[in-house]
Amino acid sequence: MTVTHKLINQMIQLQELVVADMQKKALMPKIRLEELEKSIDALQADLPQQIKTHFNRLLQKHPEAIVPVSSDTCAGCGMGLTRSLVNAVHKAEQLHRCPNCARFLYYPEQLVERERKSRVYGEARKVGIGRFTSPELMMVSLKGTTPEEVLGEMCTRMAEEKFVEDGEHLLDLALQREAIVSTAVDNGLAFPHVRGVEGGGLTLMVGIHKKGVKFGGPGRTLTRIFFFMMIPTSTSAFYLKLISGLSRIFREKEASNALLEAEAEADLWKVLIKATKKMIK
C-alpha cells in the first residue's frame, strides 16, 4: 500500500466517523459522544497539516470531503473528469482533488466477486446486492436479548458458513465498534459492522429480530432489522453509500415490514433482492 493509499484510507475512515458523529447528533442531540470525538481527533492528528486544513474546510461545506470517481465523474459534484485525471487518481501516486468542488478524489476498488459458490441458489451470476451477501447469510429469527447475544448469533453463522475463520474474534471486533457509538438508528434498523476484514469483498448479513431488542437506538426504540457488514478497507466509501441506501429504503414501513414478515431465509433473500434492485445495479 502506498503512502497515498494510506492517506486515502485514513481520510475515508475519518469521514465515516465524522458522518457517524453527525448522524448520531442529529438523531440523538443529547447523547455523549466523547469516545467518537476522541477517535476523530486522533485520526485528524495523524493527517499532514495541509491535508487536515483542507479536509476540515471541505467538511464545513459538504458532508463528504473525499469522494470516489464514478463513471469518470466526481461523485461529489458530478463534474466530468478528464481521462488523464481519472488515470492519475487510479494510480494514486499522489492525492488529487476535483477541479470543480476541490474534494479529494479516490478511485473505488472493484469489488471482487466471491469465489465461494452459493449452496442454495446455485450458479446464477449474482447481481445487485446479491454480490455482497448470500442466502446463507439471511437470518429470520434472531433470539438474543442483548447486543452481545444478537451479534453473537450472527457471528456464529458467519463462521459456520465459512465466511470467517473465527466467529468469536469477529464478535469482539463488532462489539468494540458498538462501544464507540451504537450503530442503531431509528426505524428499528441497525448497521453493526467490522472494518478492516481484508481478503474478501464487502460481506453483508441480514438478521431479523421479530420481537426487537434494545441495541442503543434513539429513545427506547427496539431494533428489529440488522444489516451486519464486514468491510475491507478499500470498500469503506462504498459501504457508506450502501448503508445510506439501505436506510433510505427500509425506513419505509412497507419495505421493512416485508423483511420482518419473511418466514424463511429464502423469503428474506427474495424480499431483500427485490427491495434493493433499484439501488444497486
Task: Name the site residues for Zn ion (rule: CB under 5 A).
Answer: 74, 76-77, 79, 98, 100-101
CB of 75 to Zn ion, least distance (A): 8
Output the nine-digit C-alpha cell for 240: 457508506
Q: Toward Zn ion, which CB reaches closer, 51 or 77?
A: 77
Closest contact distance (angstroms) between CB of 97 and Zn ion is: 8
Cα–Cα distance for residue pair 263/261, rounded to 1 Å: 6
Residue 47 CB, nearest distance to Zn ion (Å)? 20
- 79 or 179: whose CB is closer to Zn ion? 79
What is the rounded radius of gyration, in angstroms, for the C-alpha atoms of the chain? 19
| Grid cell for residue 173 | 471486533
Alpha-carbon dihedral angle through residues 111, 114, 120, 121, given to the nearest 10 degrees: 60
Q: Smallest Cα–Cα separation from 138: which of 266, 258, 280?
A: 266
Q: How far is CA 145 from CA 150, 160, 191, 223, 265, in A?
A: 7, 21, 17, 11, 21
Contact status, residue 74 vs residue 100, Cβ threshold 8 Å: yes
* Nearest distance in Å: CB 77, Zn ion: 3
Comparing CB distances to Zn ion, the nearer of 77 and 180 is 77
Smaller CB distance to Zn ion: residue 76 or 201? 76
Task: Name the one residue in this structure whose C-alpha cell is 469477529.
Answer: 170
Q: Among residues 81 and 231, whose Cβ is nearest to Zn ion? A: 81
- Which residues sit opposite 10 in a β-bridge? none
- In the complex, what is the shortest distance from the CB of residue 64 to Zn ion, in angstroms, rounded to a whole number? 10
Quote the least distance from Cβ 58 to Zn ion, whole Å.
10
Cα torsion through 72, 78, 84, 87, rounded to 10: -50
For Zn ion, the closer of residues 4 and 73 by Cβ is 73
CB nearer to Zn ion: pick between 98 and 138: 98
Adjacency order of strands within the sheet including 73-74: 73-74, 66-70, 104-106, 96-97
Question: Quick check: 167 and 159 in contact, CB under 8 A?
Answer: yes
* Least Å from the CB of residue 102 to Zn ion: 7
